[in-house]
């Protein structure tokens, strides 16, 4: 949006200057735009795990950006199960009790020598988003595949495992200016 305003401003300045010119030949091209504006978005430090970084689209304060961030958070949950590393969830959440509890559970299971199998997430719809200032709520219909909790001895812990289920998941997020990213503040499943 800023580049559009800069370009519109440049066109206005050129039009004004052209009206004041002495009739000489004008330059055929505009001067190049400083690359500092482009470098800002390209130089954002990566967020999330190195093998599942937050996509650029999810780092935009737009409806599409919020939707991409919500989808990324769902994928990050699946990644946390598979890697037994919930740090991505905790690093990209803010005062999210669901995120803290999930991260604590994964960490405790990792310490106990457990691992997870399954738990893959499938999106059943394109999602919905409501954007309001620096906040957003994103919702998806998801299917989470069955998840088995496996003990160190290779036995499945039936009481800790879960079957495949369909769920409507809502992520409440806030835009964080410092990291230029959406942070989860609340997760609801129904």
Cα–Cα distances (Å) from 77 to 28, 61, 80, 100, 106, in that order, read 53, 22, 5, 12, 10
Question: Is 69 in the same domain as 17?
Answer: no
CATH code, 173? 3.10.450.50
Question: Is 98 in the same domain as 154?
Answer: yes
Whole-angstrom distance, CA of residue 114 vs CA of residue 155: 10
The single residue listed with the structure tokens 């690093």 is 91
Q: Is residue 49 part of a domain?
A: no
- What pLDDT was estimated at residue 42? 62
Question: Is 84 in the same domain as 115?
Answer: yes
Question: Is 114 in the same domain as 161?
Answer: yes
Long-range pairs for 58-61 at CB < 8 Å and ≥24 separation? 58/181, 58/182, 59/180, 59/181, 59/182, 61/134, 61/175, 61/182
- What pLDDT was estimated at residue 9? 36
Q: Is residue 52 part of a domain?
A: no
- What pLDDT was estimated at residue 43? 74
Q: Is residue 139 part of a domain?
A: yes
Question: Is 168 in the same domain as 76?
Answer: yes
- % of the chain at pLDDT higher than 70: 78
Which pair of tokens denotes residue 82? 């598979």
Question: Is 81 in the same domain as 131?
Answer: yes
Question: Is 34 in the same domain as 92?
Answer: no
Q: Is residue 157 part of a domain?
A: yes
Would you say residue 24 has pLDDT above 50? no
pLDDT for 89-148, tens place per residue?
999 999 999 999 999 999 999 999 999 999 999 999 999 999 999 999 999 999 999 999
Question: Nearest to residue 69, comparing CAs of 93, 42, 87?
Answer: 93
Whole-angstrom distance, CA of residue 61 vs CA of residue 59: 7
Reported as half-sphere exposure (CB side, CA atoms, 13 A), residue 102 has a value of: 23
Question: Is 131 in the same domain as 87?
Answer: yes
Mean pLDDT, rounded, of the chain: 83
The reported pTM is 0.75
Would you say residue 68 has pLDDT above 60? yes
Q: Is residue 163 part of a domain?
A: yes
- 184, 171 in Cβ contact below 8 A? yes
Whole-angstrom distance, CA of residue 10 vs CA of residue 55: 31
Count of structural domains, the chain: 2
Question: Nearest to residue 128, comparing CAs of 114, 142, 115?
Answer: 142
Q: Is residue 116 part of a domain?
A: yes
Whole-angstrom distance, CA of residue 61 vs CA of residue 91: 19
Would you say residue 41 has pLDDT above 70? no
9-13, 105-109, 120-124, 154-158: the lowest-pLDDT one: 9-13
Q: Is residue 158 part of a domain?
A: yes
Domain holding 154, by residue range, is 58-189
Would you say residue 35 has pLDDT above 50? no
Question: Is 62 in the same domain as 136?
Answer: yes
Question: Is 14 in the same domain as 90?
Answer: no
Question: Is 87 in the same domain as 162?
Answer: yes
pLDDT for 42-53, tens place per residue?
678 999 999 999
Question: Is 132 in the same domain as 109?
Answer: yes
Whole-angstrom distance, CA of residue 88 vs CA of residue 47: 8
Q: Is residue 53 part of a domain?
A: no
Question: Nearest to residue 44, comparing CAs of 33, 61, 56?
Answer: 56
């Amino acid at each position: 949006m800023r580049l559009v305003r800069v370009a519109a401003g440049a066109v206005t300045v050129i039009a004004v200057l052209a009206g004041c010119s002495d009739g000489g030949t004008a330059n055929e091209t505009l001067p190049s735009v400083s690359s500092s504006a482009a470098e800002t978005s390209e130089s954002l430090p990566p967020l999330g795990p190195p093998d599942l970084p937050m996509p650029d689209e999810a780092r935009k304060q737009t409806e599409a950006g919020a939707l991409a961030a919500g989808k990324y958070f769902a994928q990050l949950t699946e990644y946390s199960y598979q890697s037994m590393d919930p740090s991505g969830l905790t690093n990209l959440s803010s005062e999210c009790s669901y995120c803290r509890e999930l991260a604590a559970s994964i960490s405790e299971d990792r310490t106990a020598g457990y691992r997870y199998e399954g738990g893959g997430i499938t999106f059943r719809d394109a999602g919905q988003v409501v954007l309001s200032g620096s906040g957003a709520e994103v919702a998806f219909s998801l299917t989470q595949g069955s998840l088995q909790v496996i003990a160190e001895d290779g036995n499945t812990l039936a009481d800790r495992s879960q079957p495949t289920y369909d769920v409507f998941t809502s992520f409440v997020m806030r835009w964080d200016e410092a990291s230029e990213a959406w942070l989860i503040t609340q997760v609801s499943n129904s």
